[in-house]
Amino acid sequence: MRIGSIEISSPLFLSPLAGYTNLPMRLTVRELGGLGWATTDLVNARSLIERNPKALQLVRTAPADRPLAVQLFGAVPEEMRDAAILCQELGAASVDINMGCPVKKVVRIGGGSAMMTEFAKTAALARGMVEAVKIPVTAKMRLGWDDENITAPELARALEDVGIAAIFIHGRTRAQGFSGRVNLGGIRQVVTAVSRVPVIGNGDVTTPEAAKHMINETGCAGVSIGRGAFYDPWIFRRTDHLLRTGELLPEPSFEERVRVMTRHLELMIEIFGEELGCRMFRKVGPWYAKRLGPAKSFKNALVKLVRRDDFDRALEVFRQWRAPYCDAEGNLLPRFAPGPMVASFMRDDDDPAALARDAIPVPKGPVDVW
């Protein structure tokens, strides 16, 4: 598939997760293969124009981190335009506009014609960016405010008309937050609303089968995966393989999980230094640990990481500690293995126990704008 004039190697995208999808995470996932495109965490347009060091850190990249889109956030058209120009100068493949839910003011004052004004304003902001740069400009949004206000199809059409190159759609409303099922029908409405640009579906894709199901049910051109990539950074490779061949590759072994977790930490340290890298890994390590079976004490050690040595020691202790849970080959005995992940939209029932097991935690942050 293509985004604007850029041909990408797979229809699989890494969703922006503020605080997580930084350069070490992106490099870790890219090394495993199957990922077609990644996006930075959201970056405040004004901060970027002002060359704020934190904003510059967010757009930091490397030759192996391609193609990379920078996600911009802001409501002032001139700032968004100038930030897009700067992203182009910095070598970004594309700029993505964070639209969270663009109609909140409209809903508050009653919708109707005001909604058209808001769409017109949003489309004008996007047009200003599209006209200012040569790289593709994309948009990421939710379905709308709530089930009675599914506005994304109309907005997507308006954005297509001003030259937006792709639409990323999280199949939930703003009212849903991160709970409830992802609405595949809502994603399908966005797909059918546009005629020229690819629509990329998003939300709760935690397995290759779920990605395939989303594509089959909605007609979306690609799938963007966020939290699922933390449980399973191999998801892109396995999904790409499934889409190409119909074959489902096995889940990674314990040793492979440890290898990739270690690589992620090494990249954190290489890029941010040992002190900051270890501190940042404290919120990443537990995601890996979650799929390792019983690992409570290991998780406790990960969230206190100070130095690289601490990690090596904790891993050594963990290897010995988990032996009673394993067979002679070192694989977890079936009764201790974590249950399979099942995406919200692939579940027949809303069994609370299953939902609790598979719920992907949403860390604190400005959820309002996601």
Residues binding ligand FMN (CB under 6 A): 15-18, 41-42, 71, 98, 140, 170, 202-205, 225-228, 362-363, 365, 370
Enumerate the β-bridge partners of residue 347: none
Note if 101 is an active site residue: yes
For 25, 33, 202, 239, 331, the CA distances from 12, given in Å and listed in that order, are 16, 10, 10, 8, 30
Asked if 115 and 103 count as a contact pair (C-beta separation under 8 A), the reply is: yes
Q: Nearer Cβ to ligand FMN, position 174 or 322?
A: 174
Task: Say if residue 17 is exposed, middle or buried (CB neighbours under 10 Å; 0-12, 13-18, 19+).
Answer: buried
Q: Give 13 or 318: the residue with its C-beta nearer to ligand FMN.
A: 13
DSSP states of 104-139: HHHHHTT-THHHHHHHHHHHHHHHHHHHH-SS-EEE
Quote the CA–CA distance of 288 and 77 in Å, as a whole number: 40
Nearer to ligand FMN, 293 or 365 (CB): 365
71 vs 322, beta carbon nearer ligand FMN: 71
Q: Are β-strands 2-3 and 6-7 bridged in parallel, bridged antiparallel, or unpaired?
A: antiparallel
Q: How buried is 157 (Cβ within 10 angstroms: 0-12 exposed, 13-18 middle, 19+ buried)?
A: middle
Q: Which residue, 96 or 118, has its beta carbon nearer to ligand FMN? A: 96
- Which two tokens mark 135? 């790289």
Sole residue written with tokens 């490397």? 62
Considering the complex, what minimum distance in angstroms separates the CB of residue 330 from ligand FMN? 31
CB closer to ligand FMN out of 99 and 123:
99
Nearer to ligand FMN, 96 or 160 (CB): 96
Nearest residue to 125 (alpha-carbon basis) of 188, 193, 76: 76
CB 361, min distance to ligand FMN, A? 8
The residues with which 70 forms a beta bridge, in sequence order, are 95
The candidate with the shortest Cα–Cα distance to 284, out of 260, 266, 302, is: 302
Could you tell me the smallest distance in angstroms from the CB atom of residue 43 to ligand FMN? 9
Token pair of 366 as six digits: 């400005």
* Count of alpha carbons within 13 angstroms of residue 315, beta-carbon side: 16
DSSP class of 326: B
| Peptide bond just before 286 cis, omega within 30 deg | no
Phi, psi at 250, each rounded to 5°: -65, 160
Determine contact, residues 69/40, Cβ cutoff 8 Å.
Answer: yes
Nearest Cα neighbor of 158 from 188, 121, 184, 132 is 121
Q: Which of 101, 220, 278, 326 is catalytic?
A: 101
Looking at beta carbons, which residue is closest to ligand FMN? 226
Just list the catalytic residues: 101
